[in-house]
Amino acid sequence: MLQELPIDVAERGAVGYTPMGLESSNLGKNSADTIAGGDVRIFSVKVQEAAVEEIPHAVPPTRPHGRWLALRGAIPIKQEILSRPTFFEHFDGVCVDWRYLHEREKGTLEHETGWLKRQGVRIVVDLSSGVDLYPMLRLIDNLHADYQASLATIDGVLAKMQILGARDLILSLQRYPENNFSDQQTKDSFTATLKTLASQTAARGVTLQLRIGFGKPPKNVPEALELVDRVGAPNLKMAPSTTLLEPQTPTAEMTARLRDKLGLWLVAASRRDLSGKLWDASAPIHSSVDRDTLVRWLSVSPGAPLVLDALLADQDAEYLEVLALERAERDTGR
């Protein structure tokens, strides 16, 4: 039995019911066989059938926790996520470059944040690309005006992180200056700056994640551990790149210290030339990593969040990358 249910149709005469320019167009009429353009009708349908089997309710799998996709573009996060229909099957958050916040007005971010919070999207901000001594940001006080300007810029990013609900800031140090500032002065200034930033971020509920990679200090885990101990801030953690750790085997001592100080993993692979020299530290793990080695390192702290940090050409590469990571996670018992 088919019966149409009456509904309110008062909106049909309202301004904006039809697209601009189509106000006087003939949209057709409702009939037993048709529905007018732009209209909505609701029907009650009752059927009489034998041997009908009810399909059981399918409970969707729980969303991943602590797995973040690095977004390299500048388009809105919502648009990036909606362009990936299976995003929430594989990720629960994104890692965005600091410029995404720095170059947007607070009002724009406030407009974005509603949808992101409703979806439960976790956001990590990566400051690493901006910390270069010159011309962007510096973390040593060897040129006071530029140093203060850098701290002010970082403070502005932290304020905008609060709008988006971001609770993790990845940062790196920068190269040592060539002259007029000794290595010891540089180390002391790094320590002082990290103490200042740790205090500021702690007041905002933000964790500092110190990137360990190539080209900038700290260049290895022992160097990073020494720096973290020197700063002595509970919200300063380490974010080692799995590329850096690939050739090594985790010792018992390193495992214990990493587990205590680790904030998140930056997951990527390396590529080397015929002589064994490193030429790419941002390669995808699905095409070039020894999975056994990756599993050994992730097993050091299997509950730590993971950022897909490789440079990925397109969404197909992202999909292959997350499948490779999921296989490695299963092997760690995560």
Residue-wise pLDDT for 38-61, tens only, equals: 888 999 988 888 888 888 998 888
Distance between CA atoms of 127 and 106, rounded to whole angstroms? 18
**3-class secondary structure, 203:** helix
Q: How far apart are CA 179 and CA 182, in angstroms?
A: 7
| Alpha helix segments (H runs only) across the chain | 77-82, 87-90, 99-102, 106-119, 144-164, 183-203, 221-231, 242-245, 252-261, 285-288, 291-298, 315-332
End-to-end CA distance of the chain: 52
Q: Which residue has tokens 């002391």? A: 188
Distance of CA 203 to the CA centre of its chain: 22
| CATH superfamily of this structure's domain 67-332 | Divalent-metal-dependent TIM barrel enzymes (3.20.20.150)
Digit-coded pLDDT (tens) for 175-226: 999 999 999 999 999 999 999 999 999 999 999 999 998 888 998 888 999 9
pTM value? Answer: 0.83
The DSSP element (H or E) to which 296 belongs, if any, is helix 291-298
In the chain, domain spans:
1-51, 67-332
Tokens of 65: 């926790």
Cβ-proximal residues to 205 (8 Å cutoff; 6+ apart), any chain: 167
**Displacement of CA 59 from its chain's centroid (Å):** 26
Report how far residue 282's alpha carbon sits from residue 243's, in angstroms, rounded to the nearest whole number: 8
How does residue 289 score in pLDDT terms, banded at 50, 70 and 90?
low
**Alpha-carbon torsion (316, 300, 67, 127), positive or negative:** negative
Assign residue 137 a region: left if phi > 0, alpha if psi is -120 to 50, beta otherwise?
beta
| Residue 222 DSSP class | H
What mean pLDDT do residues 16-31 have?
Answer: 80
Q: Are 270 and 278 in contact (CB under 8 A)?
A: yes
Q: In percent, how much of the chain has pLDDT > 90?
A: 66
Query: What pLDDT score does 53 carry?
Result: 85
